[in-house]
Amino acid sequence: MVEKYFVDPAGSTNVKIAEDVITRIAQEAATRVDGVYNSFTSTRENIGDLLSGRTVGKTKVFADEEKSAVDISIVVEYGKNVVEIAEEVQDAVKESLENMTDLDITAVNVHVHGVRIRQEGETV
């Protein structure tokens, strides 16, 4: 597998950040937003999507030398305002990535792929 890296073009050093690191930062920032159940495929309900080839739950990073964009899929807790949560996820992901990597994030595209009812006694 070929590893994809992102380099800070404004910096004077040669620092490479693996795409997996960018993806993990984005996912972690998204799951810290109240009302987000998860930001990646990890539930039994999504196994059919994986087997059918649908890309539910993926986080993708698109970048060139000047700007970067992130596509992230989330599942929202039932009863929460989906639009407000998506906007909070956009802000959290952008802030985390810019603070931790110095990349210029121009867009965070949030895809809400489901609503999850929390089971009794379950913690997120």
Question: Tens-of-pLDDT digits for all 124 residues of the chain?
Answer: 345 666 655 556 677 888 888 999 999 999 999 999 876 544 444 444 444 444 445 788 887 667 889 999 999 999 999 999 999 999 999 999 999 988 889 999 999 988 988 776 656 5
- pLDDT tens sequence across 101-121: 888 899 999 999 889 887 766
Query: Which of these, 44, 81, 85, lies nearest to 72 by C-alpha position?
Result: 85
Q: What is the pLDDT of residues 64-78, one digit of tens each?
A: 667 889 999 999 999
Which domains can be identified in the chain, with CATH numbers? 18-116 (3.30.70.1350)
Please give the Cα distance from 110 to 116 (Å, whole number): 17
pTM strictly above 0.85: no
Which residues are registered as beta bridge partners of 16? Answer: 7
Q: What is the DSSP letter of 95?
A: H
Residue 33: HSE in the Cβ half-sphere, 13 Å Cα cutoff? 31
pLDDT at position 37 is 85
Residue entry with tokens 């993990």: 24
